Amino acid sequence: MDQVMSICCYCGCGCGLYLQVEQGRVVGVMPSHNHPVSQGNLCVKGWHLHEFIHDPRRLTQPLIRRNGTLLPASWDEALDFTAQSLLAIKEQYGPDRIGVLASAKCTNEENYLLQKFTRAVLGTNNIDHCARL
């Protein structure tokens, strides 16, 4: 079994762990004992990190709703659609009709950039964060 060093994605702490890989599939995790953040510990979410990787219900590409049905789209198409939709809402109803939810799975730096985008680009202070670990 191979072990690949990685970082847990369940919160912004950045705990170090090893992904246990067997025949090209991630089958488990082990904490990194010398990692400066986690120091050999993982929370319950970290211990179960491997479970979602190969789940058949996992989204692997963007989807756009067309005529009531979610259909696969390219990343460029999905990002253009999102940008156009946000701009249309902002122009028709004003920026305070837009709200942004940040993620506890992002790093502090990523959440900082999201709040800067929300305030500077979208023009609203409507941003919230759910950091439940």
Q: Domain segments of the chain: what residues? A: 2-52, 60-93, 95-133
Question: At residue 130, does pLDDT exceed 80?
Answer: no
The model carries a pTM of 0.71
Q: Looking at per-residue confidence, does 67 or 104 come out higher?
A: 67
Q: Return the CATH architecture of domain 2-52.
A: Single Sheet (2.20)
The pLDDT of residue 124: 97
Task: Encode pLDDT of 12-36 as tens digits.
Answer: 788 999 999 999 999 999 999 999 9
Residues 6+ apart with CB under 8 A from 66: none
Long-range contacts of 96-99 (CB under 8 A, 24+ apart): 96/124, 96/126, 98/122, 98/124, 98/126, 99/124, 99/126, 99/127, 99/128
Nearest to 47 by CA among 21, 29, 33, 22: 29
First to last CA, the chain: 30
The pLDDT of residue 32: 95
Q: Strand 100-103 relative to strand 69-72: parallel, antiparallel, unpaired?
A: unpaired
Q: At which residue do the structure tokens 């979602």 appear?
A: 52
pLDDT bracket for residue 118 (50, 70, 90): very high
Task: Encode pLDDT of 96-117 as tens digits.
Answer: 999 999 987 787 888 899 999 9
Task: Encode pLDDT of 77-96 as tens digits.
Answer: 999 999 999 999 999 999 99
pLDDT bracket for residue 76 (50, 70, 90): very high
The pLDDT of residue 88: 97
**Coil, helix or strand at residue 37:** coil
The pLDDT of residue 11: 79
Q: Is-contact 27 50, C-beta < 8 A? A: yes
Phi, psi of 25, deg, nearest 5 = -120, 140
Q: What is the residue-wise DSSP string for 51-72?
A: GGTT-TTS--S-EEEETTEEEE
The pLDDT of residue 131: 66
